[in-house]
């Protein structure tokens, strides 16, 4: 059976700017070919066992040729796999997406394209620079600065741009910014035109430099600006609208709350919240998996309290709120891990991994292996456990009890026997 290829634009770097469709594609991928500018934390959403191949091109460093990338797309798709080509920005904005589509089409493969948020717009926006602004400018032009004006490979009409009255956005132009600005001024762009350079847009290391078009390249060089960076040339570059990334407001809100996390053994007065958390997690799991094939919600408050005497239960509190829990129990020479839960609105922040590592450390020295159950369709949980070194037990293996609608995973306690992808 022939597979298929999906080109996914990952946006300018913040994982929150990956589209829902792009995230769905990653979750359904058998193979992912990714660039170094794509939001790499999103690869955590790929299924267990998905093959992840780094084909990024690092300036002055290692690189995978475009020909080889095309070959990999075709080879894996012809083997019947769903191949995701995961790029930064948008696949069709200096992303060679068109070349990859043509290569796949010539090989008889179907290709889907999921657009991404382009840094040409998103980078300036985060710096408070709108690429168009009423009463200032009505158009913008995005150009590649990969080669300087006058280079044989350059097809840009810099004279036309100098007189167009557009905002000029230059991508991949850090090295050639001085030559580009000099050419624009030589061709008639006013020397007092404002300009800005935005480096590492949508990353914690983001910086913005503003200056006139004749000084911007030197200013950027003096403060150590390097790729990836975006240059904006035009009247809007003088704008500095008071905007910020959504994450900045979330962090500020958290700081205002002045709460701390506390991980401690469970007490009787935690039982009610633990029961609520358990049901919230199982219900969320059922919704995400589009199924109610999960363990029955059979425990009551008395059962939760009684289990404290059998299981070593730990709870994670954030201020007054119980946000996570996990438990373990020794069964012979096995340490059973169970009830690993994180509040649904806080999932994806590494809390589950932290709780898992904590309960593993509680295993007594006599424990020879760790094992656990999780829902058969709980893909996020299965990803967490397999990346922590757990291996799925085949259905015909009767060394552990069977529980309906679950899968079983085992990890040996010796470090050399643990494998992570």
**Annotation says 285 is catalytic:** no
Separation between Cα atoms, residue 14 and residue 9, nearest integer Å: 12
CB of 120 within 8 A of CB of 24? no
Report how far apart, in Å, the C-alpha atoms of 71 and of each of 40, 68, 74 are: 22, 5, 5
State the residue for tokens 């407001």.
249
Report how far apart, in Å, the C-alpha atoms of 206 and of each of 219, 228, 400 are: 16, 10, 51
CB of 63 within 8 A of CB of 42? no
Check 57, 221, 354, 376 and give the catalytic one.
Answer: 57
Q: How far apart are the first and last CA of the chain?
A: 26
> Is residue 146 classed as helix, strand or coil in its secondary structure?
coil
Q: How many other C-beta atoms lie within 10 A of the C-beta of residue 52?
A: 15
What's 415's DSSP letter? G
Check 14, 30, 35, 200 and give the catalytic one.
Answer: 35
**Annotation says 24 is catalytic:** no
**Annotation says 57 is catalytic:** yes
SS (H, E, C) 198-247: EECCCCCCCEEEEEECCCHHHHHHHCCCCCCEEEEECHHHHCCCCCCCHH
Ramachandran region of residue 282, left (φ > 0), alpha (ψ -120 to 50) or beta?
A: alpha
Within its chain, how far is the Cα of 333 from the centroid?
A: 38
| Structural element, H or E, at residue 393 | none
Check 14, 87, 90, 172 and give the catalytic one.
Answer: 172
Residues annotated as catalytic are 35, 57, 172
């Amino acid at each position: 059976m022939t597979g298929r290829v999906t080109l996914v634009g990952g946006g300018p770097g913040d994982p929150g700017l990956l589209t829902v469709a792009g995230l769905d594609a990653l979750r359904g991928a058998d193979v992912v070919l990714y660039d170094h500018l794509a939001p790499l934390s999103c690869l955590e959403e790929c299924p267990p066992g998905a093959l992840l191949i780094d084909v990024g091109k690092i300036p002055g460093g290692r690189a995978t040729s475009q020909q080889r990338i095309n070959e990999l797309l075709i080879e894996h798709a012809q083997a019947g796999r769903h191949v995701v080509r995961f790029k930064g920005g948008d696949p069709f904005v200096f992303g060679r997406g068109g070349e990859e589509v043509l290569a796949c089409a010539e090989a008889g493969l179907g290709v889907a394209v999921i657009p991404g948020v382009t840094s040409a717009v998103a980078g300036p926006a985060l710096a408070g620079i709108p690429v168009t602004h009423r009463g200032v400018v009505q158009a913008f032009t995005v150009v590649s600065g990969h080669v300087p004006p006058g280079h044989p490979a350059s097809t840009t009409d810099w004279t036309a741009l100098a007189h167009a009255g557009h905002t000029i956005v230059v991508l991949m132009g850090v090295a050639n910014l001085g030559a580009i600005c000099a050419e624009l001024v030589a061709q008639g762009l006013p020397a007092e035109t404002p300009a800005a350079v935005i480096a590492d847009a949508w990353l914690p290391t983001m910086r913005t430099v503003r200056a006139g078009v004749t000084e911007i390249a030197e200013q950027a060089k003096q403060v150590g600006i390097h790729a990836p960076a975006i240059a904006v040339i035009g009247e809007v570059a003088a704008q500095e609208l008071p905007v910020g990334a959504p994450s900045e407001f979330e962090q500020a809100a958290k700081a205002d709350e002045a709460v701390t996390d506390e991980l401690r053994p469970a007490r009787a007065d935690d039982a009610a919240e633990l029961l609520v958390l358990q049901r919230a997690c199982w219900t969320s799991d059922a919704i995400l998996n589009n199924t109610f094939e999960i363990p029955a919600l059979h425990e009551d408050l008395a059962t939760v309290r009684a289990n404290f005497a059998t299981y070593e239960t730990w709870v994670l509190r954030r201020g007054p709120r119980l946000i996570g829990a996990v438990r373990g129990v020794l069964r012979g020479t096995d340490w059973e891990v169970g009830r690993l839960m994180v509040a649904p609105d806080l999932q994806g922040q590494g809390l589950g991994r932290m709780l898992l590592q904590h309960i593993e450390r509680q295993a007594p020295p006599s424990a020879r292996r760790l094992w656990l159950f999780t829902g058969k369709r709980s893909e996020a949980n299965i990803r967490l456990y397999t990346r922590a070194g757990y291996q799925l037990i085949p259905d015909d293996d009767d060394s552990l009890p069977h529980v309906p609608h679950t899968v079983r995973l085992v990890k040996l306690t010796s470090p050399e026997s643990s494998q992570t992808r």
